Structure 1
Amino acid sequence: MRCHDGGPADTDACLDLWVAAVAERDGTAVADLPASVRERAARKLSHPPLAWVVARDAEGGPAGFGLMLRPGTGGDAGDPPASAYLALLAVSVRAQGQGLGGRLLDAVTGRTRAVTGVTGAVLHVLGSNVPARRLYESRGWRSSGGPVRRTPSGQPVLRYTLEL
């Protein structure tokens, strides 16, 4: 699967993919997720992207995508000021285990490296999301310490950074 630049026509399908990926990660049905999961992702996708890559499956739908936002867009207080924000990264259940997450992460990071004035990237990940943390670490991302915040359910959210 090749990665290409995402655009407005990809928004709804990427939102659907994000919600399905969160449901899979959390071991719940899509219908049981709070509406805020989709709403939060929609807010992130409404910002002009610094880099947005989408990989298509054989049927033409998104198999995965990554969204990087400009420094100061989204993220949390305490994030490095000149760092882009990896806002979303998701791979469909059918495409997992094929290295697509790494290819998407490399593609979105590569596009970000080409942007003048951006010195790094930052992301936030659930501390319990070990597969995602391993992926980030395998690509050079480093944990910057303890929790940035906690989710409403009390789960810690960790900050990872990458020098570009």
Structure 2
Amino acid sequence: MNERKIYKIISLSSASDGLSSLYSKYCHKFDSISPFKSSFHIGIDYYSKDVPLLIESDVTLHFWKLSFQARFNFFLEKLVKDADAGLLMFDIMTKSSLYNIEMYIPIFRAHDPTLPIILLGNKVDLMVKRNIEQEYLERYLSRNNITLYYEISVKEDTNKNIEAIFSDLAYLVFNRTQ
């Protein structure tokens, strides 16, 4: 029987970049039970994804999706302390989307300078409207020491590419802790 390992992934994106859609489509969502559920939001959503590995262990990825609002930064600073990886998503049609998430990279790496960060460029189904040049993106990835980068379409993905991302992420955090 395989031993199950659990890893914590802290994630962040701007409001319309597609991260909630990604998790809603490909993960299980766990809502906290709260009497304030309809009127109060603390800026955190929680998702879980089981990923089978071809080695001696299976992995459960726990995704803590934080709101892209400064008033919730104290959650990010606390949660990232024991994170196994960070996941950021931006909209390839909007350069400001990529720029805005860059300010969070130092917070992600404050307690672990080698924390792997995965970057997802979403909305490739709208490539004709792409507003980020490849050269700029390559410099951004290098400057911020991004571990893995993928371009995806949450809207039109046939599940194969996104499942591969979750698998790559699971292997990355598993191998890092061995």
Q: Whose radius of gyration is greater, 1 or 2? A: 2
Larger RCO (CA under 8 A, 6+ residues apart) = 2
**Structure 1 length normalisation: TM-score?**
0.40
